[in-house]
Amino acid sequence: MSGLTDYYSSGINTNGGEFGAYRTPTRRHRGQDISHSSKPGTVGVPALHAGRVVGKLAPSTKHGFGYGIIIRSVLDGMEFDFTYAHGPWASQQAIGEWIPQGKIILHEGNSGATQGSCVHIEQQRVGGGYLDPLPEIRRVAAGRLTEAAPAPAPAPAPAPAAPAVDHDVVCSWNWGGIQKMLKHYDYGYEGGIDHVASKGGPTLKAFQNFLNRKGYAGRAGVGTLKLDGDPGDKTIRAMQQWLNESGRNAGKVDGIPGDQTKGAFHVAEADNYRAFPNVW
Ligand SMILES: [Zn+2]
């Protein structure tokens, strides 16, 4: 036995509190009343079945429910709304909340139109009519568990973060031929032909100067490069623009120094190395 089966095994009012009992000559009772105490607020009402909170009710002149809560459950593959009414205060559950079977979701009370402290339970087929909830109450009292809820749809996976682009990888490329060209055309490179371009160093600063003065940076859409020797996105785009315009096919001007850009760069580097044999 559990609180759930204990609760629904007793207190069922079959003396006018049952489904179909006449309330007026034309209006019948649409649910089942259950009461375990005459004192409002002293007895918690466990959810007949697991489900999701789809509605809450507050005292109103438009209905006699008083404080209530509506939980949608799936039973035998069909959806039902269970309404629990007459709470002494508002249910503490939130709309959209998942309610496990047996969780206390309201207390017996006397808000709304009621003749004593009780809970009024209705069962409605979603999109359909009202059923007498008593058979379901009896099944739960006998131990019927809510069937496994359908697994919630997995949350969409967050979009994978774009991998960080390692622009500095160009520093590991061979810059000897570029150094010769930069020196020959006086782009401000004063160092030797040591093939090395360090971040922030003279080779990359002069290379940025070259990319600006020859218009590659502008045509790559990155404006004028800062001569800081830092091979960022803009510098790589300008480099790709230069490689493409000079027929070395660096691929997309996307600022990513990938294999195609690297291959094109080394073709250009070798060409320049041969083109300026007297620069040392
Ligand atoms: Zn009732």
Average pLDDT (207-223) is 96
Distance 130 CA to ligand 1 centre (A): 13
Scanning the structure block, which residue is given the tokens 């083109």? 275
Do both 248 and 212 map to the same domain? yes
| Sign of CA pseudo-dihedral 228, 230, 234, 238 | positive
Do both 102 and 173 map to the same domain? no
Distance 149 CA to ligand 1 centre (A): 28
Distance 203 CA to ligand 1 centre (A): 87
Rounded Cα gap, residues 190 and 1, in angstroms: 90
| Within a domain: 250 | yes
Q: Exposed, middle or buried: residue 192 (CB in 10 Å: 0-12, 13-18, 19+)?
A: exposed
Distance 121 CA to ligand 1 centre (A): 7
CATH number of the domain residue 86 falls in: 2.70.70.10
Q: Provide the domain count of the chain.
A: 2
Mapping DSSP onto H, E and C, the string for 231-271 reads CCHHHHHHHHHHHHHCCCCCCCCCCCCCHHHHHHHHHHHHH
Do both 40 and 95 map to the same domain? yes
Query: Is the pLDDT at 271 greater than 70, yes or no?
Result: yes
Secondary structure class of 18 (helix, strand, coil): coil
Q: Look at residue 143 in the predicted model and tell me its pLDDT.
A: 93
Do both 36 and 109 map to the same domain? yes
| Within a domain: 147 | no
Distance 195 CA to ligand 1 centre (A): 90
Do both 105 and 229 map to the same domain? no
Expressed as residue numbers, the domain containing 52 is 3-141
Single residue among 95, 124, 141 that ends a domain in this structure: 141
Distance 59 CA to ligand 1 centre (A): 15
Q: Exposed, middle or buried: residue 47 (CB in 10 Å: 0-12, 13-18, 19+)?
A: buried
Kindly compute the dihedral angle of the four CA atoms of residues 110, 111, 113, 114, in this order, to the nearest 10 degrees. Answer: -10
Q: Kindly report whether the global pTM for this prediction surpasses the value 0.75.
A: no
Do both 131 and 96 map to the same domain? yes
Residue pLDDT, tens place only, 121-176 = 999 999 999 999 999 999 999 999 997 655 566 777 777 777 788 999 999 999 99
